[in-house]
Amino acid sequence: MDAILVQILNGLDKGSAYALIALGLTLIFGTLGVVNFAHGALFMIGAFCAVTLQRILNLSYETVDPDKTDFLGQPLKVKTPYVESWFGPDVGAAIIDWSVPLAILFAIPVMLIFGFVMERGLIKHFYKRPHADQILVTFGLAIVLQEIIKANFGANPIQTPAPEMLSGVATLMDGVVYPVWRIVYFCFAALIIGGVFAFLQFTTFGMVVRAGMADRETVGLLGIDIDRRFTIMFGLAAAVAGLAGVMYGPINAPNYHMGMDFLVLSFVVVVVGGMGSLPGAVLAGFVLGILESFASTTWATTTIPGINQIIIYLVAIIILLTRPRGLMGRAGVMED
């Protein structure tokens, strides 16, 4: 029983990441009709916002400690971060400790601007082009982005630990413990998802965007500058992906190809949810997350060997064959 509960939590947690990425991807599909293969890269850039902030906070000056030696036998240079010398060791250390949550503030403007620039500079020119061209150009962009990250940060994973206070485990009930940060991540995802839905549902801006998703031409005819709004939506989608990345850092250390690892999976999630459906994307994210968690239990792998390797794809096939447009898809979106 406890084991099942923990696996559901694991599933919700994985599902949070899937749902956040799929949400942004669907926003772009739905509003702009663009197949964005660079979406995984946006997630990765978000995670590296946290890494960058951590590096900035750790900028140090060096002092020589004559008592210790380095690997070449010369006196060891001890590094002290500037923040520690400015704010005192305790406050400085606390700031560094909280670098991941702080990175949220750092990542929001970065990702929004990144999204705007990307849409205005590149994606805009591909609205009328075939999906295949969109795939090629965004895939090229994804490669370029991840190679730039690799050139600056290396290929090795870089730890971005959670603050001391939010790491460790919480006891949920008798005998059931779960990492605090993962609970934080789930709550954070719920907050973002709720925020995006509320934004689209309850603001005039959101209403126009929804109208644009349904019928772009008519909205344009009504004299509304839908393009500008779509640019903002692209920025928003980039920010959602980026924040998902920032917060994911403490769960798994970011590396330059984490975007590619998530890319295919997030496409599967979006399609299983149904093209153009935001609730569908979120639902599919959680469903696949939970199923994946259960498939990796010993019980499942002994019943069907290798099930943990293929579960996501198997489920995708079954759903697409029984529900032609995924869980909640609309007719006519990306079907030709």
Query: Which amino acid belongs to residue 122?
Result: L
Other CB atoms within 10 A of residue 298 CB: 9
Q: How far are the Cα atoms of 55, 56, 86, 157, 311 from residue 46, in angstroms, in the given order?
A: 14, 15, 28, 15, 28
In the complex, minimum distance from the CB of residue 304 to another protein, in angstroms, rounded to a whole number: 10
Please identify which residue in 59, 62, 70, 205 interacts with another protein, judged by CB under 8 A: 70
List the x/- string, 238-257, binding to another protein by CB under 8 A: -------------xxx-x-x
H-run or E-run covering 28: helix 2-32
Under the binding rule (CB under 8 A), the answer on residue 309 touching another protein is yes
291 binds another protein (CB under 8 A): no
Instruction: Report the residue from 43, 48, 230, 267 that binds another protein according to the rule CB under 8 A.
Output: 267
Can residue 214 be called a binding residue for another protein (CB under 8 A)? no
Q: Where are the alpha helices (DSSP H) in 98-179?
A: 99-121, 131-153
In the set 135, 172, 190, 232, which binds another protein (CB under 8 A)?
Answer: 135
In the bound state with another protein, the residue whose beta carbon lies nearer, of 56 and 180, is: 180
Is 322 near another protein (CB under 8 A)? no
Pick from 271, 282, 284, 287 the residue near another protein by CB under 8 A: 271
Residue 60, H or E segment: strand 60-69
Min dist. Cβ of residue 44 to another protein (A): 12
The yes or no reply on residue 221 touching another protein (CB under 8 A) is no
Size of the site for another protein (CB under 8 A): 88
The nearer residue to another protein, 59 or 310, going by C-beta atoms, is: 310
Phi then psi for residue 76, to 5 deg, are: -75, 135
CB of 229 to another protein, least distance (A): 24
Asked if residue 335 binds another protein (CB under 8 A), the reply is: yes
* Region from 71-79, 93-101, 186-194, 209-217 binding another protein, contact rule CB under 8 A: 71-79
Interface segment toward another protein; rule CB under 8 A; list 47-55, 189-197, 200-208, 263-271: 263-271
CB 8 within 8 A of CB 293: yes
Of 14 and 229, the one with the shorter C-beta distance to another protein is 14
C-alpha of 273 from chain center: 17
DSSP one-letter code for 176: E
- For another protein, which residue of 154, 194, 195, 220 counts as binding (CB under 8 A)? 154
Question: What are the residues facing 314 on neighbouring strands?
Answer: none
Identify the bridge partners of residue 169 per DSSP, sorted by sequence position: 179
Q: What is the DSSP letter of 165?
A: G
- Residue 124 is given by DSSP the state G
- Distance between CA atoms of residues 111 and 36, nearest Å: 16
Contacts of 161 (CB under 8 A, 6+ apart): 100, 167, 250
Please give the structure tokens belonging to residue 318: 């079954």
Q: Is 183 in the site for another protein (CB under 8 A)?
A: no
Q: Which of residues 89-128 bind another protein (CB under 8 A)?
A: 122, 125
CA atoms within 13 A on the CB side of 1: 3
190 binds another protein (CB under 8 A): no
From CA 233, how far away is CA 120, in angstroms rounded? 12
54 binds another protein (CB under 8 A): no
- Tell me how far CA of residue 219 lies from CA of 181, 210, 251, 312, in angstroms: 43, 10, 42, 38
CB of 255 to another protein, least distance (A): 7
Stretch that binds another protein, among 3-11, 19-27, 54-62, 98-106 (CB under 8 A): 3-11
Minimum distance from CB of 261 to another protein (Å)? 6
